[in-house]
Every structure is written in C-alpha cells, then in structure tokens.
Structure 1
Amino acid sequence: MSGFQTKRAAEQYAGDQEAAIRANRYVDPRAGAITVQEWVNLWFPSLDLEPSTLSNYRYFIQSHILPAFGPRPLASLTYEEIAAWEKDLVQVHGYARRTAVDARATFATVLSDAVPGRIQINPAAKKKAKGRKGVRRIAQAAEKKKAWADPLAAFLYAERCAALTGRWVDFVKQIAFVYTGARWSELLALGPGSIKDGLLNLDTKLYELSGRFYTGHPKDGSIRVIDLPPFLVELLSTIEARRCTCSPREMGPGDPPWCEGGEYLFLGPDGGHPRRSTYGRRVVRPAADGWHPARGNKGAMPVLADVFNGWPGALVAPWPAAVKGQPYEAPRLAELSRGHKTLPSSTPIATWLPVARELTVHGLRHSHQTWMAEDRIADVLRDKRMGHTVEDDARIASLMRDHYTHVSEQMRAELIAALERRWVKSLVDRVDLEERWNAEGIPRRSSAPGVDDLLRPYRESRATKIGSPLAPKSGHRRQRKRPLPDWETASEQQVGDTGIEPVTSSV
C-alpha cells in the first residue's frame, strides 16, 4: 500500500516534492532522524568563532540544551515545547531570565544550520511579533535608559576611581574610555607603541577567558586609528608601560593566542591585567553609585569618606546602612581606622551620592557616542571612531551614505576641538563645585592622586577673576602614590548637592 487514498493525491504529493527540490526546500525524512546530540557533535567542531563566543556556546549546550533535548531527533522538536522549556528555566529551575533567553538563542543558532538540509523550519527561533508585548517594550525601554555621563559626571566618576584605588593610572584610564569610545578589551591591550603623533591605534584586543587573557583583533574586525585631543595625549604620556605578569605556557590544540607577557599601559597594581568583573565591583560601582555592591552575606553598603582630606575624601572602612524601623549605630571611627592613623572624633565622615547611577565602562562608550551626536559630528566619522559596521538591518540604510562620504580633515579637526572644549568645561565645572563647600571647611584639594595638577590653572584663573583665595600652595607635583591625609579642622555638616552626604559620627 502506498498510503495515498487516490492516484491524484499521490501525484499531487510527488509534484510538491519536485517543487521543493527545485526551490531547495526538500528535506529527506531520514535526515531529521539525527539526534540533537549527534547534530551538535557535527556542528560545533565546524565553527570558526571567537574563543569567548565558543565558550558561551559550550556552556549553554552542555548545561541546558543537551540535558533537555540531547536524545531527541531533530524532526521531533516543536516550537511549543522549546518555548515551555525556556519558561521553565526561570520558573522551575530558578535561572535568571537573561540566562533562559540566551540558552534559547543558542539553541536557535545550533538548529539554524540544520535548515533546510535536515529540518524545514527552526523550532527554537522566536516568531516575530509574538510573545508578551509588554516584555519586549520594557526591554527596549531599558536599553534606551542605559546610563551615560556628561563631561562633569565623567570627570567626577574618574576622580572617584582614582580615590578608590589611590592610583593616577585609573583616572587616566577612565578619561581615556569616555574620550575615545574604545571598548574595555581594546584599551586593555594598549602598549607603548599604540600612541603616535596624536593618533591611537586600536588594532588589538585583550580578552579574558576562564581566568586567562588572550589577544586578538577588535570585535567584528573593527581595526581603526582614531584622533586624540591634545589633553588626552598629554595624560596618556604620563603613564609608563609595564610588563605584565603573564608567563609562557604550553599551547594546547585549538588554544587561542594566550598572553605570554608583554608591555601594557593599563595594568593592575600587581602587574596583572584587570579583570572586568572584579574591577567593576571594587571600583566602577562604588565610584558611579556611591555604594559598595552586596557580596556574599554582606549587603550593599554606602561609601564612607573622610573629607578632611579634600574632595571626594579619603575612604574609610564601609559601615552598614541604616535599615528602616531598626535602631542605627553610627560608625565608630576608632574601629574603622584599624591599621591606620586613628581618626579624631571631629572627623567629618560623609557618604558619596551617585554621580551617574548604574554607569558602566560600556556606558562611557555610550557617552562618547552621545557627545559626538550633540556636537553634530558627521555620521561617517562617528561610525569609524566607534568601530561600527553597517551589516545589521537597522543600519543598512546608511550603507550607501557612508560609501559616498569620506572623513575629511575638517571633520577630524571639529571633533578634536569639540572634545577639547568638553574637557576644559569639565575642569571649570569641577572648580566651580568647590565654591559650594567652601564655607563648610573642606580643603580645596582633591584626594585623588594627580588631579590637583589638572585643576590648579583653573583655580588660579578663578581666584584672579573674583579675588577669592582658591589657588593652592605652589610647588605641588603629581603624586603617583595615594597621599596621606592631613588632619585639619573641618565641620561635620556637608553641602548636600556636591556629591557627598553627612553621616553622624561618634567614637
């Protein structure tokens, strides 16, 4: 028996199959019998992607996809059961929604190459205009609200980073991020030969994978040379390249080009490469939010600073925040200063207010793009500087525009002038802030290494114009090490809109 009720039905089926073959849509029923496990074993070794991307794929495949669907034939998979699996990852297994979304996206990528050779459609791919509209709109709104900083907020953030670490290099690094738009991995890879004649060569990245670092080309092959404003050339010239602590190791089959030691500008205090997650937790989050993030059994705690040492203050040990409805015990300065000089009871301990809540290093890249848009920089120069491509659908309309538009010397000069103006304004605004705490007795100096050198000319200029005693003592030189505090007399009450907040102290 053929299985067809009539001759006409058989002929129609045969015609449909011939049409599918001519349209390259024909799928041999036997091809879909291969299991997900067998298909992954064929598909994964053929990939030629970034090691970090392969690592992510491997995690989602081994931890989520194969345990749920490994023995199943490809042809048996359905859209409905994969959608239910994604939902269960969150509601039943307790994973974050982002993890579930990424797991399904990886499954869709795995199955996409099986279409149309083994299956007719991809059951893991989400259908367009389906799902909860509210969820999509919330995600879009969250993306639009990604934190970015204006020039003054960027300066204050960088100053706090240096105050937290006690290192001038951290101030320069954050300023370089926001005034170049470079990615974290690109700036981490800068060496002694990366800057020449006012140009920054971004041809390498240094990326972390499984606790080690490998070198490669920037994301999407976006190798580029960008102009630096003069002030940034001068700042970068103060940073001496050092040799990292990476050592040669035996390379395994398929290993990426691991860092085996080299000279870099932005290394950690011990000579190692900064780890993005650790740096974000210890430096970026406190500097931007004014809070140390929660970790382990310890909840989030406000950043406490001794403003006897100037602004933003010398950091002291964190103290738990007040909890509504529970008695609050004020910080005990003698206990907070263990291992350091004992703080007198009159020390004005303040908490940091946010300067750019939820700002990230990637948010500095958003800031740079936003500044260029505000300054009406040509799109073609903005795209080149950011390392963007026009391959995605959202930007395809600009392909011909950029093809016929070239970056001119005038465009480059206008961009450099605009960035220089923003830098000068941030310094002027930073000096203007000092007027707000003048009456409160906070010394007019920065507790971040080297920042006073930058502010001195603007303090002197302001003092000359309005006759106020703003100029610091002469002979100051940039300090590379964290300065020791001077225990001067200062009042305990701080001005509320200067980025600090008073905390009642007792011994």
Structure 2
Amino acid sequence: MGYAEKRGALWRARWHNPAGKLESMTGFSTKRAAEQYANDQEAAIRAGRYIDPKAGQITVTEWVNIWYPTLDLELTTLENYRFLLQACVLPFFGDRSLASITAEEIAAWEMDLVRVHSYSKRTARDARSTFGTTLAAAVPVRIPFNPAARKRATGKKAERRIAKVMEKRKAWATPLEALLVAERVAVLSGHQSDFVKVMFIAYTGARWSEAVGLDPSTLHGEVIDLDWKLYELNGYFYRGHPKDGSIRQLDVPPFLETLLARHLAEQKVTRCTCPAEAEEPYCAGGEYVFLGLKGGHARRSDFARRSFRPAADGWYAPRGGKAAQPAAPVLADVSIGWPGRVIAPPWPANTAAYPRGRGVSPLPPEAPIVNWLPIMRDLTPHGLRHSHETWMAEDRIPNVLRDERMGHIGDGGMRDHYTHVSDTMRDELKDCLQRRLERSLVERVELERHWSREYGIPPRSPVRLLDEMLEPLRGNVTQIERARSVRALQRATPRRSTPILLPKPDIAAKARGRSRAGNGL
C-alpha cells in the first residue's frame, strides 16, 4: 500500500513499482493528496496501466533520437519526417519533457506555424501528424495518452465539407483531353517519347514513379510486369518496389503495345547516367523505357513546370527566386498544323511587345500565331491515374480487376475472396481501352477538320507517332463515327469550362505590335 512522507513543508508519495523498487513523487501540499497519488499508482500496477512518472521526463529531442532510428519506412517518408521534425517540431518542443506537453499547446502551435511563421496549412497539418506519430510511439510506456492526436469531428465543419467537395472535384481527363495533353507535352518538350509516357500513364493508371522506373525487361507484349519504381531523393534516384508493395501485371491494349514497341525501337539512349558507384538502394545505372536524350531521368517538378502544366493549363506558371519569371501564355506557330510549334521565349502577359535580346529570335512575320487555351486546368500526371480509374468504372470493369490494375487492396470482403480475375475480364478491359483510344482519335480528326475549315490550319500533328495514328482516319471516317464524334464534342461538360472549339484567331495580324486578344486555340 502506498504511503506519504513529510519533506519540509511538502509531502512525498511513496510506492513500489512492478519490479519492487521504491518510487516517489514529491510536491504535494497535503498528506492525503500524497497518499491518494501513491495508492493510484499501485492500483494502476494491479490493472496493468502503470506508467513510470520519470519515464515521461525525457525531452522530445531525446525521444526523437531514440525513436527515429528504429523506423523502417520508405526513404522519402523518412526524409519528410526528418524535415518536419527538425524545421517545425524540435525548435518549439525539443527541450520540453514528453509529460509536460498538452493538447492545447499543440493546437496553438499548429495555428502559429501558419499565422506567425508563414508555413502553409498543408505543412502545418503534416507537422502535427508527424509529431503525433512520434508521441504515439511513447504511449503508454512513457506518457498515458497522445496530446498531438487530432480528435475526430473537431474544427470548422465548413472546412471539412469544403475539403471533401474539393477532393471530389480533383481534375480528371476524358480520353480526348488526355490525348490532347499528351500531344502538347511532346510539342513543348520536343521529344515524342513524352507523348508515349503520358499515354502510358493515362491508359494504365501507373503512378509517376512507376512510369519513370519502367524496365524494358518487364514488357512482354500484351502484359507488363510493374515491379519497380524510381523515386527522387536529395537530387538522386533510388529504385524500389511500388508503393505498399503493389507489384502487379498490367494488361496492355493493342495500340499501347505498338506505341511502346515503336518507342523502344527508336530510342537512342536506353541506359541511364546514374553513377555506377552509387550505393543501394540508389540507382547505379540501368536500362529504362523512358529516359531523356542524354540518359537522364525525368524529374517530376521539372516535367510538371516545363511541359505538363503548360500543356494542360495553356500557361507557363510564374517562377520566383533568382530566375523569376511572370506567368505567360504558351504561344505557338500553327502553320505546320495543330497544336503548332511553340514560340520561345514566352511572351509575358500584359506586355505590348515581344521580348527582345541577345539570342532571342523574333516572331515569324507572317506566321499564324495563337496562344493555347486550357484543356484541363489543374490536371496532373496523378490526375491521369484518377482518369483511368474513372474510365474503368464507366466501362463497368469488375472491381477485382480494377483494384488489381491500380495496385489497391480490395475492400470487398468475401466478395473479393471468392472473385478471381478471368481472361474474359482482361480481354474486355483491353477492348474498352482500345475503343476509347480509337474514339478519341476520331474526335481529334474532327477537330482537325474544324481547324482546317475555319482557320486554314493544315490537318497535321507535329508529333510524328500521333500523326501516323491519325492519318488512316483522315479520309476514312464513316458518317456514323463522324456524327458520334461531333456529338461528343458538342457535349463538352460545363464543369470543365474549357471549350474545345474556339473562336477564330486573327491569323492575319503582323508579328510586330500584334494584339493577342482573342487569338486563342
């Protein structure tokens, strides 16, 4: 039984811990309070809920240095934890003991990260989540509960509702929009391999890391073994298995099989330039399906900034820092066909004259120059993964095959346990994807006819692979297919607010002093 001892003007509680060692806690103003505390500790020992009061006196920094080395996670996850702990958590709580931290302090700290220290809400939320994960590992040995745990259904209900609505509004593309974005990406980068890469992501639902890490040895005609990914970390790439161990086989529709075969046959560089002395798991050189012209791996941020975002949005995003640049629309010379030849450097918005300077070529004096309008604002490569899942849902593909293809763990319970993917399901999926591609090509031909008839733009694509796919359809589209494609174009959904058929540009305007108002395609 616990008891109390007089210690000067205060009282000390005494009790025996589970190992039989006499423990104490000082600072009680009355004998009764000290005895009550000691009895509570012994009751907790009998109930299996005992926590050594001294265990929680370890500082947050000391606990992080104990906990962090025990983690066995993805390198990128460990790097994110390290950054958030060093930048956001330890400067504020590093010297505090685990037992002294309260939930109210953490809530105020999360808000101050945004209001006082100018972090984004996303970073503040991630910092609290990381801190919560750190403290959860100390429960119940060192602290009785996790003060950083976020209670459910707390905070502004409006913000939670808005977050749910915005998640549902996440941009996804139709097959035609995916085709047009892929075409524009190839025009912007100057490499038709980027056209194949974007189409691969759109028609397989592969993650970005899985696309850039695609190994030629995993391509087996109608089937692809998606066994690897390539992640960026601290300027280098490391190789590993897909997220959550989701290695899987992908059924490839005929057109994509042909595109990949053509791409590999024409690719001049097949081995990356990563240093051979790199240690595991970093890439030490290997063969990959998608590489740059000099053998480098595509970086997600560079690909998005230089190619994907301008292709989807029709604008170059603004840049800060030493090489700051304002937002600018993408200009293109469409005399060679749609979407034309991109004019560089960009012409900043709200400026009357085209940039001049050393090494800057002037605008072609008589060329029909237009600025691109958006195809799908806020679309990302991951949005193409959402698109692929949506296409399969529209085509009534069985859930078990959809989950397998996307690398998800099914939640259908016994339904998934007793349902197996059959060859019939796989054939139907490939047929549906093939029909979607063919329908988008027909729609693309109809756009060509419109551009040629209304604007005089030649019926030609600067992307050679796509131009070869379109050529057989330019004169052999049946009236039924043409009617269907026209109806599909006319049913452009209002939610996208991105018209496909646009006003006629003033292509007769001269290069110098020409106004870009209304010159949109």
TM over 0.5: yes
Match for 2:388 among 361, 368, 382?
368
Match of 2:452 in 1: 438
Equivalent residues in 2 for 1:33-44 (5 A)?
33-44=57-68
Relative contact order higher in (CA < 8 Å, ≥ 6 apart): 1
- Amino acid paired to 1:382: R
- The alignment partner of 2:413 has SS state of helix
Tell me: CA distance 1:88–1:161, structure 2 relative to 1, closer, same or farther (3 Å): same
Equivalent residues in 2 for 1:180-219 (5 A)?
180-219=204-243
2:248 is the counterpart of 1:243: no
Match of 1:74 in 2: 98
Tell me: CA distance 1:367–1:41, structure 2 relative to 1, closer, same or farther (3 Å): same
Q: Is the 8 A contact 2:278 2:284 kept in 1?
A: no
CA distance in 2, matches of 1:200, 1:191: 10
Cα distance, 1:142 vs structure 2: 1.6
Tell me: CA distance 1:222–1:18, structure 2 relative to 1, closer, same or farther (3 Å): farther
- Which is higher, the Rg of structure 1 or of structure 2? 2
Match for 1:450 among 444, 465, 474?
465
Tell me: CA distance 1:414–1:465, structure 2 relative to 1, closer, same or farther (3 Å): closer
Match for 1:422 among 421, 430, 436?
436
Name the stretch that deviates more: 163-172 or 443-452.
443-452
Equivalent residues in 2 for 1:9-158 (5 A)?
10=35, 14=39, 16-17=40-41, 20-21=44-45, 24-158=48-182
- The alignment partner of 1:94 has SS state of coil
- The alignment partner of 1:263 has SS state of coil
RMSD over aligned CA atoms reads 2.5
- The alignment partner of 1:462 has SS state of coil
Tell me: CA distance 1:48–1:22, structure 2 relative to 1, closer, same or farther (3 Å): farther
CA distance in 2, matches of 1:22, 1:227: 59
Match for 1:402 among 403, 410, 416?
416
Q: Is the 8 A contact 1:224 1:385 kept in 2?
A: yes
Tell me: CA distance 1:321–1:38, structure 2 relative to 1, closer, same or farther (3 Å): same
Match for 2:337 among 295, 303, 310?
310
TM-score (normalised: structure 2): 0.83
Match of 2:402 in 1: 382
CA distance in 2, matches of 1:238, 1:287: 24
- The alignment partner of 1:207 has SS state of strand
CA distance in 2, matches of 1:153, 1:500: 19
Match of 2:494 in 1: none
- The alignment partner of 2:464 has SS state of coil
Q: Is the 8 A contact 2:330 2:342 kept in 1?
A: yes
Name the stretch that deviates more: 75-84 or 126-135.
126-135
- The alignment partner of 1:135 has SS state of helix
Match for 2:186 among 158, 162, 174?
162
Cα distance, 1:195 vs structure 2: 0.8
- Amino acid paired to 1:57: Y
Q: Is the 8 A contact 2:176 2:443 kept in 1?
A: yes
Match of 2:425 in 1: 411
Q: Is the 8 A contact 1:354 1:499 kept in 2?
A: no
CA distance in 2, matches of 1:267, 1:437: 34
- The alignment partner of 1:174 has SS state of helix
Match for 1:175 among 172, 179, 199?
199
- The alignment partner of 1:226 has SS state of strand
TM-score (normalised: structure 1): 0.85
Cα distance, 1:403 vs structure 2: 1.5
Tell me: CA distance 1:337–1:265, structure 2 relative to 1, closer, same or farther (3 Å): farther
- Amino acid paired to 1:281: R
Tell me: CA distance 1:387–1:500, structure 2 relative to 1, closer, same or farther (3 Å): farther
Cα distance, 1:249 vs structure 2: 2.5
Write the deviation string for residues 421-478 of structure 1: whole angstroms up to 9, x where unpaired: 10100100000111221222101101223221010011121389999xxxxxxxxxxx
Cα distance, 1:167 vs structure 2: 1.2
Cα distance, 1:26 vs structure 2: 2.2
Tell me: CA distance 1:51–1:22, structure 2 relative to 1, closer, same or farther (3 Å): farther
- Amino acid paired to 1:95: Y
CA distance in 2, matches of 1:500, 1:176: 32
CA distance in 1, matches of 2:214, 2:404: 19
- The alignment partner of 1:438 has SS state of helix
Write the deviation string for residues 249-301 of structure 1: whole angstroms up to 9, x where unpaired: 353xxxx4111111111011221000100110000100000000101232110
- The alignment partner of 1:239 has SS state of helix
- Amino acid paired to 1:282: R
Tell me: CA distance 1:234–1:118, structure 2 relative to 1, closer, same or farther (3 Å): same
- The alignment partner of 2:224 has SS state of strand
Cα distance, 1:10 vs structure 2: 4.7
- The alignment partner of 2:217 has SS state of coil
Q: Is the 8 A contact 2:363 2:511 kept in 1?
A: no
- Amino acid paired to 2:449: E
Write the deviation string for residues 197-252 of structure 1: whole angstroms up to 9, x where unpaired: 4101111111110000010110000011111111110000012261111112353x
Cα distance, 1:91 vs structure 2: 0.4
- The alignment partner of 2:477 has SS state of helix
CA distance in 2, matches of 1:381, 1:498: 36
Tell me: CA distance 1:238–1:216, structure 2 relative to 1, closer, same or farther (3 Å): same
CA distance in 2, matches of 1:62, 1:500: 53
- Amino acid paired to 1:427: L
CA distance in 1, matches of 2:312, 2:442: 21
Tell me: CA distance 1:107–1:466, structure 2 relative to 1, closer, same or farther (3 Å): closer
Q: Is the 8 A contact 1:353 1:500 kept in 2?
A: no
CA distance in 2, matches of 1:12, 1:379: 57
Match of 2:485 in 1: none
Tell me: CA distance 1:45–1:344, structure 2 relative to 1, closer, same or farther (3 Å): closer
Name the stretch that deviates more: 348-357 or 1-10.
1-10
Match of 1:329 in 2: 352
Q: Is the 8 A contact 1:431 1:459 kept in 2?
A: yes
Cα distance, 1:17 vs structure 2: 4.2
CA distance in 2, matches of 1:363, 1:50: 23
5+ long unaligned stretches in structure 2: 6-10, 14-29, 483-498, 513-521
- The alignment partner of 1:321 has SS state of coil
CA distance in 2, matches of 1:45, 1:466: 61
Q: Is the 8 A contact 1:207 1:213 kept in 2?
A: yes
- The alignment partner of 1:25 has SS state of coil
Tell me: CA distance 1:8–1:54, structure 2 relative to 1, closer, same or farther (3 Å): closer
Tell me: CA distance 1:498–1:164, structure 2 relative to 1, closer, same or farther (3 Å): farther
Cα distance, 1:23 vs structure 2: 5.2
Cα distance, 1:19 vs structure 2: 5.4
